[in-house]
Amino acid sequence: MSDAAMNDALEVIGLRKRYRDFRLDSVSFSLPAGYIMGFVGQNGAGKTTTIRCILNMAVPDGGEIKVFGLDNRADELAVKQEVAVVFDEIFFVDSWRASDVQNAIQGFYTRWDRARFARYLSDFDLPPDKRVRELSRGMKMKLMLAVAMSHGAKLLILDEPTSGLDPVARGELLDILRDYIADGTKSVFFSTHITSDLERIADYITLIDAGHIFYTGTKDGLLEHFRIVKGSAVDLTEPLRRAIIGFSQASTGFTGLIRTDDLRGAPAALVTEAPTIDEILIHISKDGGRS
Amino acid sequence: MTTVVGAIRLDYLSGRSYLRLYPLFFLLALLVGTVAKMPVFTILLVVILGVFIAGGVFANQEKNHGERLYGTLPLRRRDIVLGRYLYALILGTIASVIAWAFGLLASRLAGVDMGQLGPRRSSLGGTPGLNSLIMWFAIGAAFAYFCFAVAIAFPIYYQFGFARSYMFTMLPLYLVFLLGVLITRAINPGSLDVTDTIQFFIDHVYLLPIIGVVLGLLFWAVSWTIAHRIYVHKEI
Ligand SMILES: Nc1ncnc2c1ncn2[C@@H]1O[C@H](COP(=O)(O)OP(=O)(O)OP(=O)(O)O)[C@@H](O)[C@H]1O
Ligand SMILES: [Mg+2]
């Protein structure tokens, strides 16, 4: 095992998975321990499928997945001791109360911490006597987080944890995640299509589009890697046209997204500006998965 | 806690709120057998209820995204399936004991023999030891039926999901009836002299529950192997 692998909380290498009308195509990325990675892409891009492969809920057609250097299937039990998961839908029995959830689950984890769970319940203002089905969406999310963070997991995987939450609850959740990784040993991998969440807390970003990884790396790198480019029709050369992602043209001129590297040698008259993550997403989705 | 025990416990805990409803139905089964003066009815009903309780684990799991819960816990697929089958076995044992006890109770309350099949005295009545024969036959058959029903239903639930296949819960019952009718037609019991056989079992009455249990466990084991094959590669 290389040092790099040891220092990665999560490493996905060449993951392939095929459904009738969809294909994860050699998905690769890695999340260094101690950081937060946002996993973005539009609906149906393959985020949940990737997460299900990581959790051995779906069986990949090829590729490798490592969690702290351990194979996610061969070492499934060890891996799942280290991983906590939050899905967009709560998966606890609807008649359970918070104490029932703890009672049912704690025995599976070697490092379950009752005191910590109790503290999260009170920090999150979760009513202990309410049944799961009686909780609001935000409360359900917080209950899942409380469980996820109480068994000493070093990698938190969240599938669209912020969807359906109001801005205040979303902000709270992001703060909770930031606190969770504060000691430097824990990592978070979360999928979202709310890009403002990423701008707030992600250190790394993996952009997936129609089953292809479009970008993976640091958030700052992403924003430096790409520029929004605008120009008038006379400046549009053929190589430039080919380099532009999500190209659109109007009578006043053209606009699109371009890799910073592809700007070298471009006409000086072009106007470029830094994109937002949203703009990057929109442009790559216009091109229908070309990367 | 080993993971299999954990899986059994989780199956129990996730359906616990429904289990509270069942005593009422068990009492109803007692009442039916008593009023009809057919304790065998009580036994049959209790065991069928037992099969429903076992299937309820799947219903409940589907309703609550349980496959995701089980999928995120440190549990292997094979432990999940084995746990489910062991839990069913526990339920089957409990249901068989209740079936036997309530059958006995119904026969006492109604003042009829365990084996009586109607308000009038059964034609077999009077043979010494026949009561205990029928009692032990009933408990053996109850357990075997429970396992048979679970053995057919569980792999179907694993393959197709409960919501799409819950009607198969009744399939084993139809199969047993069908088999019974076919066998009766084929061998024409009226012409058969079974006195020796009955006497043999009266003398070795302990064999009946043993046969029932062995047969049941056989169904159970075959079904478990099939379900394991299905679930190990299933997408959840
Ligand atoms: N079990 C399955 N069988 C067939 N196709 C599937 C299955 N699961 C997912 N897919 C397909 O895979 C594609 C990716 O789905 P996935 O759920 O991974 O997207 P996503 O990025 O999570 O989208 P969203 O943002 O809407 O949650 C979709 O086209 C979906 O129809
Ligand atoms: Mg999804």
User: Which residue do the tokens 């077999």 mark?
Assistant: B124
Could you tell me if A141 and A169 are in contact, meaning their C-beta atoms sit under 8 angstroms apart? yes
Q: Chain-centre distance of CA A39, in angstroms?
A: 2
Q: Are residues A33 and A142 in the same domain?
A: yes
From CA A189, how far away is CA B190, in angstroms rounded? Answer: 73
pLDDT in tens, B24-55: 999 999 999 899 888 888 988 999 899 889 98
Q: Are residues A131 and A245 in the same domain?
A: no
Residue A217 lies in a domain: no
More confident residue, A2 or B152: B152
Q: Are residues A233 and A196 in the same domain?
A: no
The CA-to-CA distance between both ends of chain A, in Å, stands at 31
Q: Which atom of ligand 1 is nearest to the CA of A211?
A: 14
**Separation in Å, CA of A150 to nearest CA in chain B:** 13
Which residues of B are less than 8 Å from A83 in CB distance?
72
Contact of A52 with chain B, judged by CB distance below 8 Å, is answered with yes
Ligand 1 centre and the CA of A22: distance in Å?
8
Could you tell me if A155 and A186 are in contact, meaning their C-beta atoms sit under 8 angstroms apart? yes
What is the domain range of residue A252? 224-286
Q: Half-sphere exposure of residue B157, counting CA atoms within 13 Å on the CB side?
A: 30
What pLDDT score does B144 carry?
A: 94
Q: Which among A176, A210, A244 is the end of a domain?
A: A210
Mean pLDDT, chain A cut into blocks of 10 residues (291 residues total): 67 96 94 94 93 95 95 95 94 94 94 95 91 92 93 94 83 88 91 86 93 93 90 85 88 88 81 89 74 44
pLDDT in tens, B47-105: 989 988 998 899 888 889 999 999 999 999 999 999 999 999 999 999 999 998 898 89
User: Which residue do the tokens 């040993």 mark?
Assistant: A185
- Any atom of ligand 1 within 6 Å of the Cβ of A35: no
pLDDT in tens, B173-205: 888 889 888 888 887 777 777 788 888 888 888
The CA-to-CA distance between both ends of chain B, in Å, stands at 25
Nearest alpha carbon to residue B10 among A277, A105, A258: A105
From CA B135, how far away is CA A65, in angstroms rounded? Answer: 57
Which residues of A are less than 8 Å from B73 in CB distance?
80, 105, 108
- Any atom of ligand 1 within 6 Å of the Cβ of A59: no
**Separation in Å, CA of B104 to nearest CA in chain A:** 36
What is the domain range of residue B63? 3-232
**What is residue A69's three-state secondary structure?**
coil
Could you tell me if A159 and A47 are in contact, meaning their C-beta atoms sit under 8 angstroms apart? yes
Q: Are residues A47 and A142 in the same domain?
A: yes
Q: Are residues A169 and A247 in the same domain?
A: no
A229 forms beta bridges with: A256, A272
From CA B55, how far away is CA B153, in angstroms rounded? Answer: 8
User: Which residue do the tokens 């616990």 mark?
Assistant: B16
φ, ψ dihedrals at A26, nearest 5° = 50, 60
Domains held by chain A: number: 2
Q: How many CB pairs under 8 A join A and B?
A: 69
CB contact under 8 A, A80 and B74: yes
CB contact under 8 A, B72 and A76: no
Q: How high is the mean pLDDT of chain B?
A: 86
**Angle value at C-alpha A263, between A258 and A267, nearest 5 degrees:** 120
More confident residue, B162 or A91: A91
Q: Which among A210, A239, A264 is the end of a domain?
A: A210
Which residues of A are less than 8 Å from B71 in CB distance?
55-57
Nearest alpha carbon to residue B69 among A284, A232, A148: A148
Please check the confidence at residue B135 and state whether its pLDDT lies above 80: no
What pLDDT score does A68 carry?
A: 95
Residue A184 lies in a domain: yes
From CA A189, how far away is CA A62, in angstroms rounded? Answer: 21
Residue A46 lies in a domain: yes
Residues 97-116 in A contacting B (C-alpha not used; CB under 8 Å)? 100, 103-105, 107-109
CB contact under 8 A, B72 and A85: yes
Domains held by chain B: number: 1
> What are the start-end ranges of the E strands in B27-84?
none
Q: Which among A180, A210, A240 is the end of a domain?
A: A210
What pLDDT score does A106 carry?
A: 94
Residue A205 lies in a domain: yes
In the sheet with A253-259, reading across from the earlier edge strand, the strands are A245-250, A253-259, A226-231, A271-273
What pairing do the DSSP bridges indicate for beta strands A204-209 and A253-259?
Answer: unpaired
> At residue B21, what is the residue type?
L
What pLDDT score does A27 carry?
A: 96
Whole-angstrom Cα Rg for chain A: 21
Nearest alpha carbon to residue A84 among A16, A12, A17, A10: A10
Residue A216 lies in a domain: no
Instruction: Look at ligand 1, atom 2, and give the residue with the nearest C-alpha.
Output: A19
Could you tell me if B212 and B136 are in contact, meaning their C-beta atoms sit under 8 angstroms apart? no
Please check the confidence at residue B123 and state whether its pLDDT lies above 50: no
What pLDDT score does A1 carry?
A: 47
Pick B65's closest partner by Cβ from A91, A104, A105.
Answer: A91
**What is residue A270's three-state secondary structure?**
coil
Q: Are residues A248 and A145 in the same domain?
A: no
**What ipTM does the predicted assembly reach?**
0.86
| pTM, rounded to two decimals | 0.88
CB contact under 8 A, A94 and B63: yes
Q: Which atom of ligand 1 is nearest to the CA of B235?
A: 1
Residue A291 lies in a domain: no
Nearest alpha carbon to residue A89 among B40, B203, B71, B111: B71
pLDDT over 70 percentage in chain B: 92
Q: Which tokens belong to A98?
A: 């918070």
CB contact under 8 A, B72 and A91: yes
CB contact under 8 A, B66 and A93: yes
Cα B54 to Cα B77, B87, B151, distances in angstroms: 19, 8, 11
Q: How big is chain B, counted in residues?
A: 236
Residue A169 lies in a domain: yes
What pLDDT score does A291 carry?
A: 44
Identify the sign of the CA torsion A84, A90, A96, A98.
Answer: positive
Ligand 2 centre and the CA of A159: distance in Å?
7
> At residue A69, what is the residue type?
G
Contact of A59 with chain B, judged by CB distance below 8 Å, is answered with yes
**Separation in Å, CA of A86 to nearest CA in chain B:** 9
Q: Are residues A176 and A232 in the same domain?
A: no
Could you tell me if B65 and A94 are in contact, meaning their C-beta atoms sit under 8 angstroms apart? no
Q: Are residues A45 and A136 in the same domain?
A: yes
From CA B57, how far away is CA A248, in angstroms rounded? Answer: 55
Q: Which ligand is located closest to the Cα atom of residue A41?
A: 1
From CA A283, how far away is CA B32, in angstroms rounded? Answer: 70
**What is residue A268's three-state secondary structure?**
coil
